[in-house]
Amino acid sequence: MQMFPLEARQAIVRRKGKVLAGPIDLTLQGQGVTIVIGPNGAGKTSLLKMLHGIARLHSGSLEWACPTVEARKRQSFVFQRPVMMRRSVVENIAYPLRLIGVAKAEARQRAQEWAVQVGLGHALKQQATLLSGGEQQKLALARALIRDPAVLFLDEPCASLDGRATREIEEILIRAAANGTRLIMSTHNMGQAQRLADEVIFVLHGKIQEFAPADQFFTGPETKQGRAFLRGDIVE
């Protein structure tokens, strides 16, 4: 079933009367890696939650090319600080499959395979809450990817990780994209954005200031805010 394009039209997310994101007009196609950038508090997370559907629209519309119910079944979200259940690594990874009725033995087998893929094969029986930050993020990725989502949203998944862990996470994401998973991800790391992005969304004050192919944005942003942001200036 075709999910894309994803179209947002005058979409607005509010909380306690404050606009967190919007109005957003955006069309995303079904291939590649979209990186969302902008200063802290710009609305990156709110935009991702809007597109994913976990932030309710105050007004406007958000439409997939397929019924929304079907679209939501085929996407996953990885948060900056993933929640670990007080269970083993393999049980954490298997959990999404158990939720949709996959038999326990099959779910555990597939979870073990994914643990190996993300570099956690040595920690299958370890309690997930005792993992390092980088290992927990790997687990979160395996848990998100085990259902083979068509779209994976990620909210600054490497924000608190060191260089080695960041590289390992990026390798997992590159493999996922190569296997056909559509990635829509926010980051504050411009090096990471340049390494991963096919296209860039630059957000400021909850609005999209620029949406362009990555090479075009990084070589010549159209807005003065975009140019200032890339220089490392404070953008308000």
User: Per residue in 127-138, pLDDT tens?
Assistant: 999 999 889 999
Q: Extract the tokens encoding 22.
A: 């919007």
What is the model's pLDDT at position 162?
86
pLDDT of residue 209: 96
Whether 56 has a pLDDT exceeding 80, the answer reads: yes
Is CATH 3.40.50.300 the classification given to domain 6-80+151-231? yes
The average pLDDT across 87-111 equals: 94
pLDDT at 90: 95
Q: DSSP letters along 58-107, please?
A: SEEEEE-SS-HHHHHHTEEEE-SSPPPPSSBHHHHHHHHHHHTT--HHHH
**C-alpha to C-alpha distance for 157 and 81, rounded to whole angstroms:** 8
Confidence of residue 218 (pLDDT cuts 50, 70, 90): very high
Q: What is the pLDDT of residue 32?
A: 92
Which residue bears the tokens 């980088």? 134
Average pLDDT over residues 27-46: 94
Whether the predicted pLDDT of 99 surpasses 80: yes
As a whole number, the mean pLDDT across the chain is 93
Average pLDDT for residues 100-117, to the nearest whole number? 93
Q: Write the DSSP assignment of 207-222 as a string of letters.
A: EEEEEEEHHHHHH--S
67-98: pLDDT as tens digits? 999 999 999 999 888 889 999 999 999 999 99
Give the Cα separation of 188 and 158 in Å (integer). Answer: 9
pLDDT of 1 over the 80 cut: no
Per residue in 136-146, pLDDT (tens digit) is 999 999 999 99
| Per-residue pLDDT band at 234 (split at 50, 70, 90) | confident
**pLDDT in the model for residue 12:** 95
- What is the pLDDT confidence band of residue 16, given thresholds at 50, 70 and 90? confident
The per-residue pLDDT for 185 is: 97
